[in-house]
Amino acid sequence: MAKLLFRGARVVDPASGTDQVADVLVVDESVEALGDDVSARGAEVLDCDGLALAPGLVDLHAHLREPGREDAETVETGSRAGAVGGYTAICAMPNTDPVADTAAVVLEVRNLADKAGLVDVHPAASITKGLQGERLTEIGELAELGVRLFTDDHQCVQSAQVMRMALDYSKAFDVVIAQHAQEATLTEGWQMHEGYYSSLLGLRGAPAEAEAVIVARDLLLAGRTGGRLHITHVSAGLSVDLIRDGKARGLRTSADVTPHHLTLCDEDVQGYDTNLRVNPPLRAAEDRQALRAGLLDGAMDAVATDHAPHAEEDKEVEFDQARPGTIGLETALAAVLTALGPEPDLGTVVQRMSSTPARILGLDEHGGPLAPGRPANLVLFDPLAEWTVGERPTASRGRNSAFLGHTLRGAVVYTLLRGVFTVRDGEATG
């Protein structure tokens, strides 16, 4: 029997409505006790004064690149990066090579994750075969295998008819259809957000409307079909408003925002740093403000990293040749705490980064509530510790962080997956 006593941590567990200092006893895979003065007999005691303890973070959107681009990341290295960032569950994106549009690829990813044993990886499957946007994948069979989320990311399902069919058909399986909203003809050759800075820098812009147009369309289709629509990596204030309105009218829709869109904006692209070339692009300061407000008022349900590692030769090139994407698993929590700072409400942060994404994916074992008998998938972090990105090597194989050189506030100290440390004193254990 392995016993761990976390003494005096601030337990933040929105699923049970808890936010108070308490002791938490973990025995083997589960939480055994939670309260004041829990007995330490036979347990390793960890003093958690100043630390927050929460259900492990859950990422709705991360690219683990395996199979196909193992030079950029593998399921194992991506899992480790997740653990370092405080994650205990990750939804892996299907734009691998081959695409995860069949049971075979989904199962392979799951096997690789189980072997690494650092994080629970829930592979997403694509909406359409080969991400071509034409024919639906066998959503039923994949749902039976446990796939909870379907997406064509980084492609947008362009055809309204195909999207309608996906939302309608998927209803039967209660799975999420996640859209990467980007109208193709408005964004041909895009390099950054269309605005003052794109015209100053001579880079072709993608207007915010290219995202909003698809969001508006798909909200209407979700309304018609009753399917579970999720808009991933919302970047524009226009989209936030549309989604907020849709929810107010009773639509069963959810949305996520990335930590980099909460932190950076198009002005930061001056200097042509390719780590800031991301899709969707970093938009204007007003959009960033709208995303923060949306995250706080719940129009944006969750934070998802869109962790996108790239090999060096895909980034150390001219700006318009660089593949878009930034890594994000290891910096997500700190970036969100810093962006919502200086004194962010931890309950809201844990809700958006753990309980709600767990609920969207239907993961009972993650996201809390923390109570006796529940699985010990936990993260402990110091909400005030400051650190500078880039000073330590990344656990991810990718080095392309949009936050390089930034000083962030918030450091993960322990991560536990079913009672086993995957991160101890800020370092990965395996």
Q: Where are the beta strands (DSSP E) in 143-288?
A: 149-151, 176-179, 192-193, 205-206, 228-231, 253-257
Among 17, 250, 271, 393, the residue binding other proteins under the rule CB under 8 A is 271
CA 358 to chain centre: 11
Q: Does 195 bind other proteins (CB under 8 A)?
A: yes
Among 36, 313, 343, 425, the residue binding other proteins under the rule CB under 8 A is 313
Among 202, 250, 373, 393, the residue binding other proteins under the rule CB under 8 A is 202
Cβ proximity to other proteins: between 136 and 201 the closer is 201
Among 199, 249, 297, 364, the residue binding other proteins under the rule CB under 8 A is 199
Q: Does 201 bind other proteins (CB under 8 A)?
A: yes
Q: Does 320 bind other proteins (CB under 8 A)?
A: yes
In order of 20, 52, 58, 59, 353, the CA distances from 347 in angstroms are: 11, 10, 15, 17, 10
Q: Does 184 bind other proteins (CB under 8 A)?
A: no
Cβ proximity to other proteins: between 44 and 312 the closer is 312
Q: Does 278 bind other proteins (CB under 8 A)?
A: no
- Smallest gap from Cβ 207 to other proteins, in A, equals 11
Among 196, 224, 345, 430, the residue binding other proteins under the rule CB under 8 A is 196
Number of Cβ within a 10 Å radius of residue 213: 18
Q: What is the dihedral of CA 361, 363, 366, 371, to 10 degrees?
A: 130
Torsion over CA: 331, 337, 340, 345 (sign)? positive
Phi and psi, residue 275, nearest 5°? -65, -15
- Smallest gap from Cβ 197 to other proteins, in A, equals 9
| The one catalytic residue among 23, 152, 306, 382 | 306
Q: Does 2 bind other proteins (CB under 8 A)?
A: no
Stretch that binds other proteins, among 105-113, 175-183, 315-323, 373-381 (CB under 8 A): 315-323
Nearest to 306 by CA among 233, 381, 224, 406: 233
Q: Does 144 bind other proteins (CB under 8 A)?
A: no
Is 306 assigned a catalytic role? yes
In order of 68, 85, 93, 156, the CA distances from 99 in angstroms are: 9, 26, 9, 15
- Smallest gap from Cβ 199 to other proteins, in A, equals 4
C-beta separation of 150 from 174 below 8 A: no
Q: Does 203 bind other proteins (CB under 8 A)?
A: yes
C-beta separation of 62 from 93 below 8 A: yes
Burial class for 185, CB neighbours closer than 10 Å (0-12, 13-18, 19+): exposed
Cβ proximity to other proteins: between 49 and 318 the closer is 318
Q: Does 268 bind other proteins (CB under 8 A)?
A: no
**Partners of 254 in beta bridges:** 230
Stretch that binds other proteins, among 150-158, 159-167, 269-277, 346-354 (CB under 8 A): 269-277
Nearest to 169 by CA among 150, 145, 182: 150
Q: DSSP H helical segments within 65-175, as ranges? A: 75-84, 103-116, 139-144, 160-170
C-alpha span between 89 and 56 (Å, rounded): 8
C-beta separation of 51 from 384 below 8 A: no
Among 272, 344, 384, 406, the residue binding other proteins under the rule CB under 8 A is 272
Amino acid at site 38: V
Stretch that binds other proteins, among 92-100, 115-123, 194-202, 323-331 (CB under 8 A): 194-202
Among 317, 341, 405, 427, the residue binding other proteins under the rule CB under 8 A is 317
- Smallest gap from Cβ 191 to other proteins, in A, equals 8
Q: Does 71 bind other proteins (CB under 8 A)?
A: no
Total residues at the site for other proteins (CB under 8 A)?
20
Positions marked catalytic:
306
Which residues of this chain interact with other proteins, rule CB under 8 A? 191, 195-196, 199-204, 270-272, 274, 313, 316-321
